[in-house]
Structure 1
């Protein structure tokens, strides 16, 4: 158990960097900068907890009684809530009121460890109940992302089990508990990394499903006309070529709200808006790869509306099943057979 905890503590430090890069690359989170900021705070806090766990388990350094450790314990749950809230609820940033969630973390530095630890798990349990309710609301959408729901469910139950153990095990066998706690955080990083690799654009897809689970926002919208105008904006004005095109900007051009546009695309076209834009950008990239054989592949991606090389390659492989370079080689003569 001790060796496994040490292994997961080291993995978590690198896993935090991977997940942080994914947060910056997630196009859907651009609309909620405070949520992305909360995600970075969460990663920093979890990485710090793992480092202090490693020092305690490996070198018996007593970081667990430091005020910084107690404050980190109380920061993780609200940071996770602020990261996930826009995805599950579509709730906008609440501005300075969001900072109220971190008031317990400020007070935690003055509490004794024997009191702070169970209180932090009580706080975490409250946020987990909220998360469980949000996941339950998506039960009718589970056919759309079975794998995601399974992995998210595993993360939820691992966190729940750790929370329950946190109420009585530390006083009886602290090394065992903090080994289990370290492994639980490491598993969270591992499963999250798997989701990011296997399901790019997951946050956008879940957000779309969550909006569908709530009341429709399209009651007074002329959906056929809006879809026709959306198609015109893409095919005639080629708005998808703008790498800074956001949900809000596109919705404004259609005289719709952001949630209305998301629901419109999802319910009538069967895909998320981010997927819709990626398909147009990849289509443009395939044209340029064939018609402009001397142009660099990266230049093609930038000219097709992608904001980075990694986004371009990821989307291209997702939609065509091959890399841009291989696509160009396969279609260089205009036909795979020639």
Structure 2
């Protein structure tokens, strides 16, 4: 039973990895993505997929992954890739220190280390990163009063790493099969959670990046007439209805009102308490509500596209996030009153 579930999750991981990569590379346009972020994302997904392929080979043909140095090296790729990718999301545009290359030391030493050492080293490193990022996101919650869901992710990854560290240490007693099954299940569950988050909360990475800039960066609004900029911002969204442009970006709106992207991000966060992506979704959903009631013949899809959403799934996710129900259900409830 457990082995069958592991095989299902392995299959899901292998299918989900390229889809998540495409989502990050193509659809998350408003994030301050960097070359390092791209490389780290690709390395992380490839390493996790490679590990799952080894787990599949163990379950299907009896291959022993611990005997293969490539399996060990994939374990060492995952922690620094996770660190650099998460850091680029949370503190995009921050100064990179030459000391950051030290995060790659375990990976560089991997070809020369005893194979039995590598799982322990990898999971110690991974647990340390996950705990650090959990503390970081906890700091965001103190500033912006949300991100409990995101905090859960980093706590989950920390628990994963600590559990696998214990299993790796006890593998001589429990047997390698327990380690491989647990690793396959945890990794597969990670892919399920991340995929679900991207479907239900497609702007999650954008929102976290915006909040991190607000919480940990110095103010960029010291010489800005905040009231005048808020008026210009409101005019751009309510009179010019820029939110109807599905390609509206932070940079585009900032240029329209005469601010830099960082200044606009801070203006929105500090005044409204949430990030740019959420701010745009608020306007789009508000406009969609009006259109749903004013034009009863318009389909839900037509309303979503008319108010700036790229697809019906994005519209449903945003509408449900802000109202707690689907657009169709909301329209029916309001029509009865």
Fold shared by both chains (TM-score > 0.5): yes
Tell me, in whole angstroms, the C-alpha distance in 2 between the residues paired with 1:56 and 1:11: 14
Using a 3 Å threshold, how does the CA distance of structure 1 residues 21 and 294 change in structure 2: closer, same or farther? farther
Superposition map of 1:1-338 within 5 A: 3-4=1-2, 6-15=4-13, 17=15, 21=19, 24=23, 27=28, 30-32=31-33, 34=35, 35=37, 38-91=40-93, 108=110, 113-114=115-116, 116-121=118-123, 123-124=125-126, 127-128=129-130, 130-132=132-134, 134-135=136-137, 137-138=139-140, 140-141=142-143, 143-163=145-165, 165-166=167-168, 168-170=169-171, 173-193=175-195, 195-196=197-198, 199=201, 201-214=203-216, 215-327=218-330, 335-337=335-337
3-state SS, counterpart of residue 190 of structure 2:
helix
Deviation at 1:268, TM superposition (A): 0.7
Conserved 8 A contact 2:138-2:151: no
Unaligned runs of 5+ in 2: none
Unaligned runs of 5+ in 1: none
3-state SS, counterpart of residue 144 of structure 1:
coil
Deviation at 1:201, TM superposition (A): 3.1
Deviation at 1:153, TM superposition (A): 1.6
Conserved 8 A contact 2:40-2:82: yes
Deviation at 1:31, TM superposition (A): 3.8
Tell me, in whole angstroms, the C-alpha distance in 1 between the residues paired with 2:250 and 2:29: 8
Tell me, in whole angstroms, the C-alpha distance in 1 between the residues paired with 2:11 and 2:74: 15
Tell me, in whole angstroms, the C-alpha distance in 1 between the residues paired with 2:281 and 2:143: 23
Deviation at 1:72, TM superposition (A): 2.2
CA deviation map 1:47-79 (0-9, x unaligned): 321231132145311344445423422322232
Tell me, in whole angstroms, the C-alpha distance in 2 between the residues paired with 1:121 and 1:136: 22
Tell me, in whole angstroms, the C-alpha distance in 2 between the residues paired with 1:42 and 1:123: 14
Superposition TM-score, scaled by structure 2 size: 0.78
Q: CA RMSD in A?
A: 3.8
3-state SS, counterpart of residue 305 of structure 2:
helix
Deviation at 1:171, TM superposition (A): 5.6
Deviation at 1:319, TM superposition (A): 2.7
Conserved 8 A contact 1:90-1:207: yes
Task: Name the stretch that deviates more: 222-231 or 66-75.
Answer: 66-75
Tell me, in whole angstroms, the C-alpha distance in 1 between the residues paired with 2:103 and 2:247: 31
Tell me, in whole angstroms, the C-alpha distance in 2 between the residues paired with 1:99 and 1:216: 29
Task: Name the stretch that deviates more: 215-224 or 283-292.
Answer: 283-292
